[in-house]
Amino acid sequence: MRVPPYNRDPGWQRFFTGVVIGGIIGWLIFMLMYGITLEENLSALKKYKDEVKSYKDRIHILTEDNDKLKEEKDQLKIEDFNISIINHEKYMLNSFSRSSIVARITEDLNHLVSKDIASIKDNKELLIKVIENKSYSLDDKKYYFEVDFLYVDTTIEIDLLIVKME
């Protein structure tokens, strides 16, 4: 058996030439599309890497700032007091009576102004005991308090409950 001579028939020559040229054009189109897609992916990857790097730098800066703020906060001083009596309605205290009792408690705590916040936070229980173990007199009545809430920052916030009245 012999292979037919396709090289003499112009129809077959055009077919094989078309197949070869089509393959080359298809390969070129494939390479062009692959190159464009690869370039887009690489540019997106570079953009994301730059974003990650900027975020890491920002995190580093923020953690340094946070550490500095923690150090400064430990060196902050007490500036003021915010004292409130929660259950004043039960004992029928008017605003004048409340303000005078709060003023007396503030007078007792005035020695804490300009002290370090860190030392006050360490001795929070002592501060609570100072308030709870003292009676405050007003109009021939003695009021005893219990600390309900205590928050220490540059302003000490204290919420008090009247425990008993004599």
DSSP output for 137-160: EETTEEEEEEEEEEE-SSEEEEEE
Residue 108 and residue 131 in one domain: yes
Judgement on whether residues 69 and 87 belong to the same structural domain of the protein: no
What is the domain extent for residue 29? 1-75
Q: What percent of the chain has pLDDT over 70?
A: 95
- Asked if pLDDT for residue 10 goes beyond 60, the answer is yes
Q: Give residue 145's identity as a one-letter amino acid code.
A: F
DSSP run (H or E) holding 163 = strand 155-165
Question: Is the pLDDT at 164 greater than 80, yes or no?
Answer: yes
Q: Which of 56, 75, 94 is the last residue of a domain?
A: 75
CA dist., res. 81 & res. 16, Å (int): 96
The CA-CA-CA angle for residues 120, 126, 128, to 5°, reads 95
| Residue 74 pLDDT exceeds 80 | no
Q: What is the pTM of this model?
A: 0.54
**Looking at the structure, do residues 61 and 85 belong to the same domain, yes or no?**
no
The tally of domains found in the chain comes to 2
At position 68, the amino acid (one-letter code) is K
Where a domain ends, among 75, 106, 136? 75
